[in-house]
Each structure stands twice: as C-alpha cells, then as structure tokens.
Amino acid sequence: MPSETAKIVRDRKTRIVATLGPASSSYEMIEKLFIAGVDVFRLNMSHGGSDGKDELIANIRAVEKRMHRPIAILADLQGPKLRIGQFENGSIMLNNGDIFHLDMNSKLGNSSRVTLPHKEIFEAMNVGTHLLLDDGKVKLEVTNIDGQDATCKVLVGGKLSDRKGVNVPNTVLPIAALTEKDRADLSYAVKAGCDWIALSFVQRPADVAEAKKLAGPGVAIMAKIEKPAAIDCLSEIVEYADGVMVARGDLGVEEPMENVPGLQKQIVRCARLEGKPVIVATQMLESMISSPVPTRAEVTDVANAVLEGADAVMLSAESAVGEYPIEAVSVMNRVTERVENDPTNSIAEFGISQMMANSTPGDAITAAARTVATTVHASAIVTFTSSGTTALRAARERPEAPILVLTPRIEIARRLALVWGLHTVKTKDINDFEHMIGKAKRMAFRTGLVTPGDRIVVTAGVPFGTPGATNVLHIAWINGNELN
C-alpha cells in the first residue's frame, strides 16, 4: 500500500510556481512550500548563476523522494542586461527638457552625460528613438546621433543613479538572447537535470531555436515574453518553444501599462491554441513580500489569470526574499481553488474552455475523451504517455474530470508537473491492452481520484511506447475486486 504522501492530489488544476532564494532555500522550507501548494520551483540564474544551485536542486529532489510526487525545476536564465555606466557622485537629477548625452566614453558620468556601453543600441537607434531608463522612471528622446554619441532630450526627468537599466521600446536590438553567462548557466541546468529552461530577452523565433539547439533533445525551453518585438511574432515563438511565460514586469516597461492586461490575454490564448503550457508571472502578490496578507487587487489578479486559462501562476520575490513565503503560497493556493471550484462558474464560461481540436487522430481521440468523460460522468481521464504529448493534448482540452497521467519516465513526469490539470505518476511501462486497463484502474484508485463503481476514460497510443501516437479510447468501470 503506498504511503499517504503518494496520494497528494491538488484540489485545483492551475499550478503554482515559486522562486527559491534566501527566504526559502533550506530543505525544511522547500518541504513546507510544497505541502502548501508549490508544484514547480524556480531557480533565478540572475543571482549567482550556478553558485549554490546544487544544494537547492538536491533539496528539491529530496522533498520529491519523501513526498512520492514529481516536482518540476525551472531554471530561469538572466539574459542580456543593458545598463548605463556610473556617475562621479553616484547619481544625478534630470529635469524635463534637459539635454543629456549617452556615449561610449568610459569616463564617469555627470549631469550632462553618462556611458552607454552597448554599441548594439547605437546601431539600432535613430533620431526620434525613445529610451527608458530605470524601469521607465526616466524617459529620453534621441535628437541627434554622432557616431557613438547620442544627444537626447529628457521627456520625463527624475533621479538617475549608477548602472540603471536601459530599455529601447519598439526596436529589435541586434543582440542575442543568450550571453556567455547564459550559455554556461544553460549547460549547467541541463547537466543538473532541470526540467524547464526559461529564456529571457526573446525577440524572435530564432532566439528560441538557438537555445533549443544548445540545450539538445529532450530539454524543454520556455520563452519569456517580455519584449514588444516578441508580440509581433508571437505565434512563431510559441510554435518553436515548449512553453511560454508572460513576464509582465519587463513587458510593462516597454509597453504602456494599460496594454499589459490585453497582451496577457493574447499570450495565454496563443499558448492555449498551440497546446503549450503558459505561466503568468510578476508581482502577483507583491505586497506579501512584507505583509502577511495580500491586497484585494492582487487576489483579483491571480483569479483573472486562472479564469484566462493560464497553466500556472508564479511567485517571485514573495517566496524568494519575502517575509511570508509560506503564507504567499497558501494564499495563491486558496484563491486558485476557490475560483476553480466556485459553483457559480463553469469551465465553459471561463477563458479556459476547450479549443478547436487539430486535425490529427491523436487530437481527435483526446477531444473525444473529454466529451465522453462528460457524457458518462467519468470520475477521471487516465492517459499513458512516454513523451508527454498525449498528456499535453489532454490538458489542452481543459476537461471537467481530473487527468491522471501515467508515464515510465521520471523526467516526463516532472516536466508535466507544470501543466494545467495533470496529476502525473511515474509507473512501470505497459505491454498490452489488458495490462493498460488494469493499471489505469489501480492507479486511479490508489491516488484517490476514484472509488469502486466509478467510471474512467482511458487514452493511449498503440503500439505502446510510440511517442504522440494517441489512437485508443476506452471506458472502464472501477470494480473493487480488481484493485488489489
């Protein structure tokens, strides 16, 4: 008989991602966060790169072993960091209408100029180009370019201090998404067995293609949508990537803030159409960094992401450096549960209603499984997969019934922990049809999804072990005599 921890089934379909950091790096805290509701742990490679990550990964895997549940690890690459240089006195004050220069001179800056050590920006800018400094707090307009000296007019002034970030909205910069640091961190993450690699600074499909080539086969790449240029070729990026993240913080710097909610919906829907998992991230419960309770607006923000059909919602500083990491996860867990289980709502009314099936046999079978499960009031849909493709199809349909995924590969079980509605179990492979149906019944019972007398709908691919070949749908009764 399996331990009680093997029966952990979330009472929600939306998944929770939590970032690890100084407030949440110990084994004890990671275990508490998992019990509170975390499905995926994010490693922020911007802070220290691979330094100290071995211990975090070991702690996550130890919790996974103790809890008998696959846990996904997401390594988030830093990407290029575009920053100005330093000032003689550490900072200056710019006023609206001032003239200010950006140049490649390495001298310390002053009230009239500062270093911009990125020749790629000079290559891309033109007269009229807008530059955003310090997350958009200071706004400049280029009025003249003389080689590597840009004369700018201050449109929005304010305090400007050393090494603040630079954004160039509405401009595709000739900069690769992967720096040398990112390449080293990506190599480390692959060797360390991370399940997802999040790619920053994605501007075009080629950025994702490069990361996938470097990562090699079997590594899932998640494209972070944080640049307006990525929106212009969103469908192509989503097609190339294995998943996407709505990185609202950076996206809201270069895009007007009022555009971000609509872009979030657009990105989520595009990912849903492609059957790719999508995370909504940044500032979801920001006030809980220092408060034990969130604002009502933050709760509504989380709820809206659930209603839009996101696969997962993410905590960043709240769980990494905040004072209340467990409380933040608990709040997110309660909100997602409440929204999904609200009797006044139905999945058909949400943005998570099913999409039109693709014209393939596998998609047709999976779409039929959703309809059959609803018609016969099945307690669960059980799907067998070796590559994860069958499970992703099942999640894309957003069925009312829970989805139990059985796979012989632990790396697939972990990766699918990110995906909406999937309860994934690593189990031995199957070899014939009767074996498949018997195992589906037993595992559905052992995980607590069904009781004797219930029905389940089973999907799989024959011959067994053929990736993506979903071609079998079967309705089975749960008979108590068969469950030993």
Query: CB–CB of 273/355 below 8 Å?
Result: yes
Active-site residue (options: 12, 13, 15, 42): 42
Active-site residue (options: 83, 153, 265, 446): 83
Other CB atoms within 10 Å distance of the CB of residue 262: 10
SS3 45: coil
**Residue 453, exposed/middle/buried by CB under 10 A (0-12, 13-18, 19+)?**
exposed
Active-site residue (options: 12, 15, 224, 272): 224
Query: CB–CB of 35/333 below 8 Å?
Result: no
CA pair distance 207, 225, nearest whole angstrom: 12
The DSSP annotation for 188-251 comes to HHHHTT-SEEEEPS--SHHHHHHHHHHH-TT-EEEEEE-SHHHHHTHHHHHHHSSEEEEEHHHH
Other CB atoms within 10 Å distance of the CB of residue 396: 26
- Annotated active-site residue 183? The verdict is no
- Annotated active-site residue 83? The verdict is yes
Provide the token pair at 151.
């004369």
Annotate 314-355 with three-state secondary structure: EECHHHHCCCCHHHHHHHHHHHHHHHHHCCCCCHHHCCCCCC
Active-site residue (options: 171, 282, 385, 459): 282
- Annotated active-site residue 282? The verdict is yes
CA pair distance 399, 26, nearest whole angstrom: 37
Query: CB–CB of 474/435 below 8 Å?
Result: no
- Annotated active-site residue 248? The verdict is no
Q: Looking at the annotation, which residues are catalytic?
A: 42, 83, 224, 282
